[in-house]
Amino acid sequence: MNYIDFFLSLFQDWGWEEAPPVGDIYREFQFRFPEYVTLFPESVQVLTEIKQRGYLVGVITNGLSLMQNRKLDVSGLRPLLDIAVVSGDEMVHKPDAEIFRRAAARLGVACRNCIYVGDHPINDIQGALGAGMRAIYINAYGNDIHPENVPEIGNLNEILDFLPNL
């Protein structure tokens, strides 16, 4: 989505002739949007348990650098991660397998030793599988989408069933 064009169309639809410069609105959007992101209630507990079991934890996210990095900071997830790979920084976007390979390399592990949990059948699941990772589909929203030959969970707590203690 081109946010600049989107905001300009809103200005026009609203008849907002005295609107501030669209670049200012866009920057404010990038900065403020992450403040309204909500984690699944069990996120911190599950990530803490995964780390306590000796696993490395990484995130791969598509989007603009400022927005995605602020989401990780504002949400409190950053201290629970060993790595965050943001497509806006990489100029490679999911589902391109390259972004998954980069994350694994930075963690110092082979893709075949990674489990990627994602909620998007194409961007997450196909991308991870294309890089040679194992994938788990989290159907947290009750979608009627079930990627073939991929384990499916409905809650983050279920990830722990796939991870033995190291």
DSSP assignment of 58-122 equals: EEEE-S-HHHHHHHHHHHT-GGG-SEEEEHHHHT--TT-HHHHHHHHHHHT--GGG-EEEES-II
The model's pLDDT over 77-126, given as tens digits with 9 standing for 90+, comes to: 999 999 999 999 999 999 999 999 999 999 999 999 999 999 999 999 99
In which domain, by residue range, is 31 found?
3-36
- In a shared domain, residues 69 and 21: no
Inform me whether the pLDDT recorded for 166 exceeds 70.
Answer: no
Model confidence at 30, in pLDDT bands (50, 70, 90)? confident
- In a shared domain, residues 92 and 115: yes
Contact partners, residue 76, CB within 8 Å, separation at least 6: 39, 44
Q: Find, among 92, 54, 86, the residue nearest to 72 by Cα.
A: 86
Q: Find, among 38, 42, 37, the residue nearest to 154 by Cα.
A: 42
- In a shared domain, residues 58 and 21: no
% of the chain with per-residue pLDDT over 70: 99
- If one counts the domains in the chain, the total is 2
Which secondary structure element, helix H or strand E, spans residue 130, and what is its range?
A: helix 127-130
Q: Which pLDDT score, from 0 to 100, does residue 124 have? A: 97
Where residue 102 sits, what CATH number does that domain have? 3.40.50.1000
Cis upstream peptide for 164 (omega within 30°): no
- In a shared domain, residues 13 and 80: no
- In a shared domain, residues 11 and 75: no
Q: Which pLDDT score, from 0 to 100, does residue 34 have? A: 87
**Average pLDDT over every residue of 25-34:** 89
CB burial of residue 8 (10 Å; 0-12, 13-18, 19+) = middle
The model's pLDDT over 131-163, given as tens digits with 9 standing for 90+, comes to: 999 999 999 888 899 999 999 999 999 999 999
Q: Which pLDDT score, from 0 to 100, does residue 148 have? A: 92
Task: Give 166 or 119, the one with higher predicted confidence.
Answer: 119
Inform me whether the pLDDT recorded for 26 exceeds 70.
Answer: yes
Contact partners, residue 91, CB within 8 Å, separation at least 6: none
pTM over 0.75: yes
* Owner of token pair 């081109």: 2
- In a shared domain, residues 91 and 158: yes
- In a shared domain, residues 57 and 10: no
- In a shared domain, residues 73 and 112: yes
- In a shared domain, residues 30 and 112: no
